[in-house]
Structures are given as structure tokens and as C-alpha cells.
A and B are shown apart, each in its own frame.
Chain A
Amino acid sequence: MNIAVCVKQIPDPAAPYELDGENHWVVRPNDQVLDDTDRVGVEVGLQLAEASGGTVTLFSMGPSGSLQGIRQALAMGADKAVLIDDDALKGSDALTTARILTAAIEREGYDLVVAGMESTDGYTGAVPQMMSEMLDVPCLSFARKVDVADDGVTIERQTATGYEVVSAQMPALLAVTAGVFEPRYPTFKGIMQAKSKPVDTATAADLGVEPHTSQVVSGVSDVAAREAGDIVEDEGEAYLKIVELLEQVKVI
């Protein structure tokens, strides 16, 4: 089984993000990390590949930089990566991202596509759905549990009030959320092997995709932050402060 996993490198969320003064895009440092959301996708891909003797190919669009984030996914166990790093794609929209990933995945061939539900830095939460429409495959979204049988795939799909069991034929696209999948830590061996795994590159022109922009940022401003109120060290009676405030706002 050929499993395509879409992963994004993002600036380390632990460090404050910077926006470019002119175009307002997030400034992307040379060293980026694998998005936590996509760590889950890689884990799901690896589990399914291990169960079926398949391979996991990573697909990523964006500035490659030092490839740190991609190496993290390869170190977890993915077999190879296809990167689309093309200046012509800067500032392009989600639809373009989906077109690029779709074209690259179709070119390599696939049985299953795995993506995250929502990237940490972009949170459009729409690229996987767009890809499913372009590939004409079912979009098994909000998947928190996955079972692959002979020719079908069944998931538990998280809903606002519980979950649904959803089944479809392959090929299919899975958009996963955290939950039961605990992403593995790379082993030392994995980290060493990751250095020599194949990383192919492609441009938008190679894939026959015309970059497209559908929205421009017209302004960025700071949101008025809430002000911190009283901070009280508990020495046994701080709970009274809570009671006082609850009385004041007439909750008790």
C-alpha cells in the first residue's frame, strides 16, 4: 500500500512568530519544525504501512530551509519525501496548495492520503477537503481511529457531541486529529537513517500548476489584550478572594 502523508514545516510554535512588515506573511526561519498536527498524520501513515507492508511518502509545499522538520518525519520512519519549494508559490492560496499537493501525489501514485485536520500556523482547515475533491476520493475527516481492511477503510469521526463510524472504499483521504494516536519519538537509528533517505523536489511548473492568489491582506493590527487583574499567592485563604469575586458578579 502506498501511503501519501502531507506534512508542513512551521516555525517553532514555542518561539514568538514574526510577521513580515510589508506583505504580512509569517516570517519562516531556516530551521523549521514538523507541525504537531502532522506528527499525528505521520504516525497514522506509519501504522498503516507497517500493517500492510506499505511505504510512506511525505509531501510538503513551502520553503524547505534546512529540512529540519522533514528530517523529523523521516526519522520517525517515513521512506522518502517530495518537496515543492518554489518562489513562484509565495503568497498563493489554499486552493493552489491543494492543487500542488494533489498533482505531486497523483504523479507518485497512492492508495491512501493522510493529512492533518488543521495546521498550527495556517489553520485554514480546508486543504485536505480540497484535495479529496480534486482526487475524487472520500474525505474521511476528523478521524480519531482508523481501520483498514481488504479494500475499505473505516474511521471513528469526531463530532461536536460524540462520534460517527464512517466507511468508504479506497483510495481515500484521511484527515486526522490527535486523540488516540500518540506520535512516536524518532529512535537514534531513525535519526541517522533519515539523513540518507531520498528527498525529491518539484516546482509548480513541473506539476503543471499555475500559482494563484485570491486574497490580499489589507491590514494587521494588535488585538487589545486583556489586562491581568489581581494575582494572589495562596497562603490558605486565597479561596475567599474567589468567593468575593463570585459574589460581586452575582454568581453566588
Chain B
Amino acid sequence: MGIWVFAEEQDGAPLEGGLELLAKARTLGEVSVFYIGTASDSSFATLGDHGASTVYHLDTGDDLPAAPAAMAFADLLTQHGGDAVLFGPGNTDRDLAGRLAARLGKPLVAGALDIDMADGITVTTEILGGMKAVTTTVVGDGPALITTRPKAFVAEAVGGGVPSLVPVTMADAGASTATITERHVEASEGPDLEAAPVVVTGGRGLGSAEGFELVNELAGLLDGAVGGTRAVVDAGWVPYSYQVGQTGKTVKPSVYIACAVSGAMQHVVGMKGSSTIIAINKDPDAPIFALSDLGIVGDVHKVVPQLI
């Protein structure tokens, strides 16, 4: 089987998402990576260590990557063939997968949690906020393009050697070109939300940006990361990078503490994989209690200060 993985460079190393895909890809077949960014030898070595045998490298510079990358990637797939192409859940992954599917006229399966290629290509996804698991079989000729859910697979270095490296020439995307003129990182304090063993999330019920301070304090005491619901992100209390859920980050910490969070379906899909869930909500019927190991029916403004 010929498997392709899309991976991207950030801050001098491959993004974790690409390495997670490699962990799955190498169980399915021979792995080539389509890699974009200003890469270095150490990035290529990391990709090899995670199971890549060939890396095709494209630097898209200040172009928004998807349009020129789709042109280059489509040519590579036409030339070398392949059975499946795996993408992560990131912005560029999704933009590229969509453009590439249209360019090649090939199927796109979105949101895979698992992929099986023993007999055709079968993909497992979850729908309806993770209440139903669905298996889908791809029909027709490959390559099948597959985007995956966050953290569907666990990255693992397997001690592979340095992959063979093939530089790819940047194409002119013509009328599809868009240019990145500025890049901003919104500072977040404390541990990385996606990796922290403890996450404390605040919801709209905290009342105000000042009220949200309680969450920051509790997280600080537990060496945890701070998360927010979309409601508090939209209210501007915390930046988008704090958002947990379907359109934000997916977290799987040992302990997840939800403070004044209702537990909407789109929030729950991003945190239901946590080992222990604790919720504080004044509404005894709040949906979050249905998946909590410990639920406190009470006022966050009373319970959390007592904890602190």
C-alpha cells in the first residue's frame, strides 16, 4: 500500500499532528510525506524517526499554502500513485485536502478516528456529538483523501533512519493566490492546553472576564492549563487558542474540571476523552453532569474560592 501523509513545519520542527498521522500510516503501508514549511535536516530526521521513508518538501513562503500546495501535491500523486492520503484536523490540512479532492476529483472522507485498509478502505468516524460511531467504506479508485480527528493516533518515534528527500518546486497558483502579510501569536500563559495533565475550563456562567480569573487561579494552583467554551471566547474573555470543542482543541487530560460550563454537544466532543471529569454547575439538569465522574450542583463563585 502506498500511503501519503501531509505534515507541516512550525517553529523549526514538524507539528505533532503530522507525527500522529505517521504512527497510523506506517501500520498501513510504505509512507511518503508531503511536507511544507522552511524545513531543516533535523525536521527531516524527525519525520524519518517516526516512520517516513520519503519526504517531498515544498516551501510555500508567504503564500497561503493550500492553493500552490494542492497543485504540487496533485502532480506528485498523479506521478507516483498512492492508495490513501492522510491529513490532520488543522487549518492547512483541511484547506489542502478540500482543494486537492476537487483538483483530483477524488473522494474525501472527513473526521476519521480510525482507518482500516485490510479489505478496501474503511474509515471510522463519530457523528452527533460523538454519540454514534459510523464506519464508511470508500468506493471507486484511489487515492482516497482522509482527514482525521485531533489526537486520533498517538505519535511514536520508532527509530527510522533519515528519509530520502525530494525538493518540490513551488507552483504559481495564479488567480487562487492569497498572501500572508502578518503572523500573530496570541500569548497564552501556563502549560500547553493539548498536552497538560490537568485542564480547568470556564464557561459563560462565570459571568465576566473578572469572574474568569477564578479559573486562571485554580488552574495555576494545579499546574493545569486553562480552557474556555466558545461562549467565553466569543465574549472575548480568552483568546480562541483556549477554546475546547468541535471547532477548537481536543483535550484528553487526566483531570478535566468544568466550571460553569453547560456541556453542549460541540463542547463535549473536545473533552469527553478526559480520564476524570469534574463539573461545577448551578443547574442540576446541566448536560455536563451526564458525563462527569463528580458533579457539584452549586455556585462556582462559592465552590471555587473554597478550593483555592
Contact = CB atoms under 8 A, between A and B. Distances in A.
Interface of A: 13, 17, 19, 24, 93-95, 98, 117-118, 120, 123-134, 136-142, 144, 154, 157-169, 172, 177-179, 213-223, 225-226, 228-234, 236, 238-239, 241-243, 245-246, 249, 251-252
Contacts of B111: 123-124
A215 B115 CA distance: 14
Given A133-B98, A225-B291, 6 more contacts: A132-B67, A133-B102, A136-B175, A179-B233, A216-B137, A217-B135
Interface stretch (B156-164, B201-209, B234-242): B234-242
Given A142-B91, A164-B183, A234-B299, A132 B99 contact: yes
Contacts of B182: 164-165
B285 to A, nearest CB: 11
B155 interface: no
Contacts of B78: none
A128 B175 contact: no
A166 B178 contact: yes
Which of A13, A125, A169, A246 neighbours the largest number of chain B CB atoms within 10 Å of its CB?
A: A125
Contacts of A178: 230, 234, 247
11 contacts: A139-B99, A140-B64, A157-B91, A162-B183, A167-B178, A218-B135, A218-B137, A222-B131, A228-B291, A232-B297, A242-B278
Which of B147, B180, B294 neighbours the largest number of chain A CB atoms within 10 Å of its CB?
A: B294
Contact of B186 (A161, A215, A249, A251): A161
Contact of A215 (B67, B107, B246, B276): B107
Given A129-B95, A228-B291, A218 B122 contact: yes
A163 B180 CA distance: 10
Contacts of B293: 229-230, 245
Interface string B227-266: 0001001100001110000110100001101000000011
A132 B176 contact: yes
B138 interface: yes
Task: Give chain A's interface secondary structure class.
Answer: mixed
Interface in B178-230: 178-186, 197-198, 222, 230
Contacts of A127: 98
Nearest to A177: B247
B176 A166 contact: no
B33 interface: no
Given A94-B108, A139-B67, A218-B136, A133 B176 contact: yes
A19 B133 CA distance: 12
A229 B294 CA distance: 5
Given A159-B91, A218-B137, A221-B133, A95 B186 contact: no
Contacts of A126: 94, 97-98, 101, 108, 110, 147
Interface stretch (B24-32, B50-58, B300-308): B300-308
B67 to A, nearest CB: 7
Contact of B296 (A161, A225, A234): A234
B82 interface: no
Contacts of A214: 106-108, 138-140
A245 B254 CA distance: 12
A172 B277 CA distance: 44
Interface string B125-142: 010101111111111100
A72 B57 CA distance: 47
B44 interface: no
Closest 10 CB pairs of A and B: A129-B98, A234-B298, A214-B107, A133-B102, A126-B98, A229-B293, A138-B178, A168-B178, A165-B182, A162-B186
A131 to B, nearest CB: 8
A141 B297 contact: no
Given A167-B178, A167-B181, A251-B255, A215 B103 contact: no
